[in-house]
Amino acid sequence: MNTSVVDVPAGPTARSRRPVIALRNVVKEYRMGDNDVHALRGVSLDIPRGDFVAIMGASGSGKSTLMNIIGCLDVPTRGHFWLDGVDVRTLDDDDLARIRNRKIGFVFQSFNLLPRMSALANVELPLVYAGVRPHERKVRAARALEAVGLGQRMDHYPSEMSGGQQQRAAVARAIVTNPALILADEPTGNLDTESSLEVMAVFDVLHSQGRTVVLITHEEDIAAYTERVVKLRDGHIVDDYTQDPASARAIHQAHADAGRGGVPR
């Protein structure tokens, strides 16, 4: 597996820390029937280590395509992509699978927990694929569940947990390999408000520990938890700004209250 770390050339959004994600003029095109679909049109983006970023955009904006490329689930048609210093262009399918297991922790909207396995066994799975010994797997999986507040739920099956608890178990599974990046696709899309707040509180803690977290979301109140927002439209980045999460949440809450006639939650 060719995973040699290289110096990534500075881009327009480069900062002082080496980027975990670096894209340069990334283009993604699809052929659908007789039509060419231009999903990404020259995207350049750096996400340094430790950033907490929301990627937003309407349906058809290119955010799902960008997520798939960042998650090494797809490759660009043209352009360059480095993940934690590794040039993804040099990797074959087996290498891509290994780098997904080792460097990316995925969190999906639908949890993707195996129903016949306990929370502990679900969280162990990435370590099984990585060839970690059984005793170490259990220790690391237990620590990950404790880190998301599920230390008392390790032996519970998904059907015995609430939606919020299932998603926190999924977050534990994402962090158990200590990945360079946590990539979350609409992580609160199937949750009620209270459960969404619980899950976002977990992401807050992970970010405070120095982890790099990227959320794909269309919800402004979820993006308000992050320190940086990248917005896409028609395959282009049209906005990229930093924000104070506390202020952003307060502004969003004020707008929500105004929409309800000033009745606070």
> Domain 49-64+93-259 maps to which CATH number in 3.30.70.100, 3.40.50.1100, 3.40.50.1460, 3.40.50.300?
3.40.50.300
Half-sphere exposure at residue 187, Cβ-oriented, CA atoms within 13 angstroms = 34
Q: State the pLDDT at residue 262.
A: 56
Q: State the pLDDT at residue 14.
A: 46
Q: State the pLDDT at residue 36.
A: 86
Q: State the pLDDT at residue 259.
A: 66
Q: State the pLDDT at residue 25.
A: 97
Cβ-contact 12, 34 below 8 angstroms: no
Q: State the pLDDT at residue 260.
A: 58
Tokens 């060839």 belong to which residue?
A: 131
pTM: 0.88
Q: State the pLDDT at residue 16.
A: 52
As a whole number of angstroms, the distance between CA 85 and CA 88 comes to: 9
Q: Which residues pair with 213 in a beta bridge?
A: 52, 182
Q: State the pLDDT at residue 196.
A: 94
Q: State the pLDDT at residue 261.
A: 61
Nearest to 226 by CA among 31, 18, 54: 54
Cβ-contact 174, 182 below 8 angstroms: yes
Cβ-contact 89, 81 below 8 angstroms: yes
Residue 77, token pair as written in the block: 């048609």
As a whole number of angstroms, the distance between CA 43 and CA 40 comes to: 7
As a whole number of angstroms, the distance between CA 80 and CA 77 comes to: 9
Q: Block means of pLDDT (10 residues each) for the chain, length 265 residues?
A: 52 64 96 88 96 94 95 94 92 91 94 96 95 96 96 97 96 96 95 94 94 94 96 97 90 71 51
